Amino acid sequence: MGALERATVPRLQKSASAFRTISEVSAELDVPQHVLRFWETKFTQVRPLKRGGGRRYYRPEDVELLSRIRELLYRDGYTIKGVQRLFRSEGTKAAGAVASRPALAAVPSVADPVAQAPAGADLTALQAALRDLVEIRDLLNGALGPRED
């Protein structure tokens, strides 16, 4: 069978319990491979099996954990330190429950709140609300001390 013929043959789906390569996990989670490698250095809970030549094989639990990390970072707005703290305090299984809860509304960027304003919004009212929120944040930071995340 030539390369062209192999390219047209549909690939069979792996079973849910099968190990995945880094390229398969990267495609499934829509995250570059180098990000997965970086997350391995930051989250000791992710431990893919490494074979000869350094090839990584991810267990289904690893893929599930990486998916939770991705949701917490990209959807819920956690920082890496925030996810690490969450895993330490609640464990990776409990953190999955946090990831599956509906996300709170994303906090708009202080740098460009106008770009995220809904159409027809009163810009003056939004700017005043943003100033109030920044002032509240600063008061809380002063009362609670500096944040680690």
**How many Å apart are CA 109 and CA 12, to the nearest integer?**
44
- pTM higher than the cut 0.85: no
pLDDT in tens, the chain (149 residues): 555 555 555 555 777 778 899 999 999 999 999 999 999 999 999 999 988 888 989 999 999 999 999 999 999 889 999 999 988 888 766 555 554 444 444 444 444 555 555 666 667 777 777 788 878 877 777 766 555 55
Instruction: Write down the pLDDT at residue 40.
Output: 93
Domains of the chain: 14-104 (1.10.1660.10), 107-149 (no CATH)
Burial (CB count within 10 angstroms: exposed 0-12, middle 13-18, buried 19+), residue 7: exposed
